[in-house]
Chains A and B, each alone.
Chain A
Amino acid sequence: MSGVGLDPKTAPTFPMAAKAMLGDTQLRKNVRHATDVIQGKRARVVGEMPDWQELREAGRQIRQHTMKYLDFYLEEFEANCTRAGGVVHWARDAEEARGIVVGLVKASGSDEVIKIKSMTTEEIELNTALEAAGIHAFETDLAELIIQLGEDRPSHIVVPALHKNRQQIREIFQRKMNLPELGERPEDLADAARMFLREKFLRVKTAVSGANFLIAETGGVCVVESEGNGRMCLTLPETLITIAGIDKVLPRFQDLEVMLQLLPRSATGERMNPYNSIWTGVDAADGPRVFHVVLMDNARTEILADEEARQTLNCIRCGACQNACPVYRQTGGHAYGSVYAGPIGAILTPQLQEMQHAQSLPYASSLCGACYEVCPVKINIPEVLIHLRNRVVRQNTAGVAGFFDVEAGAMKAMAMIFRSERRFRAVQRLGRVAEGPLVHKDGQGEGWIRWLPGLLGGWTQVRDLREMPKETFRDWWERRGDNGN
């Protein structure tokens, strides 16, 4: 694991990475424990709400409505934020966004920034760009601090270090904070982080944040957090730079009444997270004197243009789909090769990356639908996954002969076989004979095929196949006869 950001351009494909992760039993144990705990808490507080489905529906409609009129609401946000003393910038892609933020930090006269956890800055690998410009970024969220000091990579949208247990975190803090006597109780570790960061909060003059919501009606920004590190970043420095995807806008202040009910319960299983901050521009006596907002596209408009996939933009980054996903729970987040892991990562990342990279991610799902069921804004992730699988196939077959001709030919042959009982039975008999040399018996005497030759090898690379039964259902049915039981 290196400190380099997660980048689908360089990451191994999901099946390869997942296979490696499955071998890490400690990681799987940590991930399972954390997701079990959050799911339990979520189910309890969602169960308290008699109107949960009505809230989800309102959430879906608000997000869908916003996307439809996105240009109007962004311009409204810009006008109101500017009127309140904020400065609004626009960025077409990650490179422009990084350039704007680096420029603003330099203009603030600081070579250090404090940062509150932000998926957007992870997405554009901002810290690397800041370091390259001679600016040191301090992550202040406890989990992000663990990741940064451990030169690790985040593995969950809400709880980025859930793959680490307390002993592993203690080892990182002992080493990086020079605390040989540090205990391993979670309280000890949190105290160490408090001591380590307090001095930075009081000293560093520039902060970078993400945003949970931008409010068009007022020009306000909302950040949802628990530790107070967010409030430190938003409140104490002289300059605050907030970077947000253009999808983060909400039409009206009142819409928060829906989002502030859906988000905390879905994300951390709390009725309300400890702190929500809403601020509008600057206030001479309270908070930073200079406030910038960077509105970033970075392929979001391409998602917007794809009507079947547009609902991807409705995501409010709660991570509930990750916790519910049987695939994520086995592999953890790193296997996705992206800062957005789990089901939402499987649909968001390929689109942010324009599909050339991360082609395996739409297949990193069993389509069981658990993600759709827990999504607070009802994003139909399975539907989008299938849509993206179609796009992957279309992209790969466009102007390419060869493999896909073979696959198409094989499908035709299958169709021919299925149409005739005689042919179907013949192929079953042939299959039982042909699989013979490939079958290996496991400890329980069950036969498994771990490798298939030729093109079929793609299937067995990441799956084990059971041997064919000795007797087919049809044979058994016939043997059973008219009076057999």
Chain B
Amino acid sequence: MATDTVTNSTRDEVLRRIRAATGGTSDGGVAKAGWEGIARDYRRKGTREREGVLALLEDRLRDYDARVVRVAGGRVAQSVAEMLAERGVRRMVVPVGLPVAWLPAAAGAGGVEFVVDEGLSSGDLDDFDGVMTGATLAIAETGTFVLQSVAGQGRRAATLVPDYHLCVVRAEDVVETVPESMAQLQRTAGLATTFVSGPSATADIEMTRIKGVHGPRFLDVILIV
């Protein structure tokens, strides 16, 4: 209780100082009206044709060292099998709710084992070679895809601890600009949300970009068209 009292008086003191500095208590209605008056003359919508948007996304992803392939809806599983074989991964973790049709049948997967994440510990996750997920959307202009804590995209730890991430993005979920992505995400703004642009990277040593420090070092994207 003592702590509560201290905290409350501290809170009141900070708010009192703010109000003294700004000339009084803010009126929420006035604040909201003021916010709506903020000039937003920047681009709110993209201008490219559909094909141009997809090509831009591919270009930006590659610029950040991700590998990208375009496949038709029916060929995802086969493409996954090829990607995993090329990467040489053996054990993949997948989130609950990932479309089963995306997973190669056991025989065609070159012996890759898929394990569904039903609350694996961080240590367990560290034993996997990679993770495969879907995405809520992708932003072409920045080469970004957005993951949320929903079925098919999983917990944040699962897309972080393994060294390889394979992300499947539907072409209809690709937007051109950042404002378009935020408009779509507004409905689910309360979910844990991660914007991913390329594999983990650092430039802390002589500004040389190095792929992969603590997060996944390798990133592949399958774009379903």
Task: Name A169's contact: one of B27, B205, B214 (CB within 8 Å).
Answer: B205
Q: Taking the nearest CB of chain A, how far is it from the CB of B34, in angstroms?
A: 6
B5 is an interface residue with CB less than 8 A from chain A: no
Q: Does A73 contact B (CB under 8 A)?
A: yes
Contact A159 B204 (CB under 8 A): yes
Instruction: Report if B106 contacts A (CB, 8 A).
Output: no
Q: Which residues of B contact A72 (CB under 8 A)?
A: 25-28, 31
- Do A142 and B60 touch (CB < 8 A)? no
- Bound form: Cα–Cα A159–B202 in Å: 10
Chain B's nearest CB lies how many Å from the CB of A304?
4
Contacts of B142 in A (CB 8 A): 271-272
User: Which of A234, A236, A246 has the most C-beta atoms of chain B within 10 angstroms of its own C-beta?
Assistant: A236
- The answer on a CB contact under 8 Å between B197 and A228 is no
When distances are taken between beta carbons in the complex, the residues of chain B under 8 Å from A37 are 207
Docked-complex contact A254 and B186, CB < 8 angstroms: yes
Q: How many interface residues does chain A have, given as a range?
A: 35 or more
Residue B141, interface by CB 8 Å? yes
**Contact digits for A267-302, partner B, Cβ 8 Å, 1 yes 0 no:** 010111111111110010111000000010100011
Q: Is A468 an interface residue (CB 8 A)?
A: no
Interface SS of chain A: helix, strand, loop or mixed? helix
Partner-contacting stretch, out of B40-48, B81-89, B129-137: B40-48
Q: Interface 1/0s, chain A 136-179, versus B by CB < 8 A?
A: 00001111001000000000000101100110010000000000
- How many Å lie between the Cα of A78 and that of B178 in the bound state? 27
Given A51-B41, A71-B19, A286-B192, residue A295 in contact with residue B206 (CB < 8 A): no
CB-CB under 8 A from A286, the residues of chain B are: 149, 155-157, 192
Q: Name B144's closest neighbour in chain A (CB-CB).
A: A272
Bound-state Cα–Cα, A91 to B10, Å: 6
**Which 8 residue pairs are nearest across A and B when measured between Cβ atoms?**
A228-B215, A305-B21, A72-B26, A301-B17, A272-B142, A276-B195, A37-B207, A228-B200
- B positions within 8 Å CB-CB of A: 7, 10-11, 13-15, 17-22, 25-28, 30-31, 34-35, 38-43, 60, 64, 119, 122-123, 126, 139, 141-144, 149, 155-157, 160-161, 178-179, 181-183, 185-186, 189-208, 210, 212-216
Q: Name 6 extra pairs, CB < 8 A, besides A220-B190, A234-B156, A272-B197.
A: A71-B22, A90-B10, A261-B42, A271-B60, A278-B194, A285-B155
Q: List 8 A-B contacts (CB under 8 A).
A: A57-B39, A142-B202, A169-B205, A186-B210, A193-B213, A254-B182, A277-B156, A283-B149
- Chain A: residues with CB nearer than 8 A to chain B? 30, 33-34, 37-38, 50-51, 54-55, 57-58, 61-62, 65, 67-76, 84, 89-92, 96, 140-143, 146, 159, 161-162, 165-166, 169, 186-187, 189-190, 193-194, 197-198, 201-202, 215, 217-218, 220, 226-229, 231-232, 234-236, 246, 251-254, 256-258, 260-261, 268, 270-280, 283, 285-287, 295, 297, 301-302, 304-305
